[in-house]
Structure 1
Amino acid sequence: MEDYGFWAVIIARVSPVLSNDATSFVAGLLRMGYWKFIAATLAGIIPLTGAIAYLGGNFQRLKSGLIWISAVSLVLLIIYIIYDRKKKKHR
């Protein structure tokens, strides 16, 4: 949670496939700071709201768009974690 919690909350908020309740619960159990959690939540929900507003005119476009957003955000988080671990390993 210390290393990737902020980004994990952002990805969980952007991705409509992941559970927002579970994310909030885990962040609370692991004692993520309140303001850090609120900032990560806003950073994830604001782009998602914009995407829903843009894609919402057509259900099929909304559905495929949200699937793509979820997939890309998860892949980006995994790439970031791998990159960060390699960077820390070289130190």
Structure 2
Amino acid sequence: MLSLVSAALAASISFGIARAVGRAPVEALVGRGSLGRADRWFERYGAYAVLVARLIPVVSFDAISYAAGLTRMGFWRFLGATTVGMAPATFAYSYLGERAPQLVGVLLVVFGVFVAAAVVAAVVRRRRRGKSV
């Protein structure tokens, strides 16, 4: 629960910073077009966009919070979607973290297999490039 509340608080702070700073600095950094696409995405999907983005581990946590803060989305809808979307991963990480000492051997084997597969893929790709040149 501590992890979930902490992450929700961090998301709320990022949302609030975006609201306080406003759109002008963001437009200067990412451009009006990029910000417009984000606006349309949030306008179309609203809180569901936040919820789904929180369920996908590779989506930037902060980017979603800041972007949502620049839209007309209400804070409580944002916080609700954020909390619900983060809950499954937060509880899974906590569960796995608690059991990490018992699973360290399995985790090392899985990590080793992943690294070996990445090395093999890189070698195969490099050889294919060499033949095509």
Summarize deviations over 1:26-48 as a string: whole Å, max 9, x none.
Answer: 11112211010000011111111
Equivalences for 1:47-66 in 2 at 5 Å?
47-56=88-97, 57=100, 58=103, 60=107
Corresponding residue of 1:76: none
Equivalences for 1:71-82 in 2 at 5 Å?
none
Number of matched residues? 63
Q: Report which stretch shifted further, 1-10 or 17-26.
A: 1-10
Corresponding residue of 1:46: 87
Corresponding residue of 1:69: none
Return the structure number with greater helix share. Answer: 2
> What is the one-letter code of the residue matched to 1:47?
P
Using structure 2 for the length normalisation, give the TM-score.
0.40
Higher relative contact order (CA closer than 8 Å, sequence separation 6+): 1
Q: Are positions 1:12 and 2:53 aligned together?
A: yes
Summarize deviations over 1:58-91 as a string: whole Å, max 9, x none.
Answer: 474xx9xxxxxxxxxxxxxxxxxxxxxxxxxxxx
Structure 1 counterpart SS, 2:44: coil
Using structure 1 for the length normalisation, give the TM-score.
0.55
> What is the one-letter code of the residue matched to 2:50?
V
Gaps of 5+ in 1: 64-91
